[in-house]
Amino acid sequence: MTFMQTLRQRWTDSGSLVCVGLDPEPAKFPARFEGDADAVFGFCRDIVDATAEYACAFKPQIAHFAALGAEAALERLVAHIHSAHPGIPVILDAKRGDIGSTAQRYAAEAFDRYGADAVTANPYLGGDSLQPFLERADRGVVILCRTSNPGGADLQDLEVAGPGSGTPRPLYQHVAATAARTWNGHGNVALVVGATWPEQLREVRAIVGDMPLLVPGVGAQGGDAEAVVRNARTADGTGLMVSSSRAILYASAGDDYADAAARAARALRDSLDAARRG
């Protein structure tokens, strides 16, 4: 099964649009992990096992492993998800982008070394920099379009005149249109659009048809989960991976951290589900 097939099947099987982000920050781990040399893997594994029922995808963020020198923990975590929770795709959040020959090495990092089903990628270097990811047709390429941070506006909202287009449009809409028209030849493209910009989610959805959108920014960043679903779900009520990291991972600093994470993931699933039925 390709990433896209796995994701669509998982939306159906789980009834959930929740993507659980895995951003390990040891300073926030429960006290029981103090002095545990394997804390990064152990904590993330516990969160994965507790939240899998409510997840349409898992999204480990690689900087949080790399800053700790915890590449081995990340390798084991992806393997654990695949073996313990088959059918839930893993998106490696790496936002890579480089010239083609280097991008090929980043594709090897994400897909071959870590075994990720999909990877996030940065479009600033253009189509040939995405090609080594795109040509892995069984994997997903989740391209940054309109990010959730305040500075996302700095470049992404600039009005650009598209070739042959009389009407200027924001850069992020140009990226969305190029992704749908040019980069999606293998049908394996998704886009990142932040929950903090519900209007822009609606505009991107209008451009890209039923292409999946990865939507960070609910919870800690202040995005409104219901507005995301109202503005950007597809006709069948899916099309969204609404990502939450800190609000799930660190729902409790006590010994009930796994149960608290499960409750937070379930609550987000339920509110997204209510919004798509409402």
Contact residues: its own copies, CB under 8 A: 23, 61, 63-64, 66-67, 69, 71, 95-100, 102-103, 105-106, 108-109, 112-113, 122-130, 144, 147-156, 158-162, 168, 171, 174-175, 178, 216, 221
Calculated CA dihedral for residues 34, 39, 45, 50, nearest 10 degrees: 10
CB of 188 to its own copies, least distance (A): 18
Calculated CA dihedral for residues 165, 170, 172, 174, nearest 10 degrees: 0
CB of 144 to its own copies, least distance (A): 6
Q: Which is nearer to its own copies, 159 or 259 (CB)?
A: 159
146 contacts: CB under 8 Å, gap ≥ 6? 152, 156, 172, 192, 193, 194, 197, 200, 204
CB of 177 to its own copies, least distance (A): 12
Which H or E element spans position 9?
helix 3-14
Q: Which is nearer to its own copies, 66 or 84 (CB)?
A: 66
The whole-angstrom separation of Cα 244 and Cα 18 is 7
Is 95 annotated in the active site? yes
Catalytic residue among 28, 82, 85, 95: 95
What CA–CA distances, in Å, run from 135 to 95, 117, 129, 140, 215? 17, 13, 11, 10, 24
Q: Which is nearer to its own copies, 12 or 182 (CB)?
A: 182
273 contacts: CB under 8 Å, gap ≥ 6? 15, 16, 17
CB of 156 to its own copies, least distance (A): 7
Q: Which is nearer to its own copies, 14 or 148 (CB)?
A: 148
User: Which active-site residues does the annotation give?
Assistant: 95
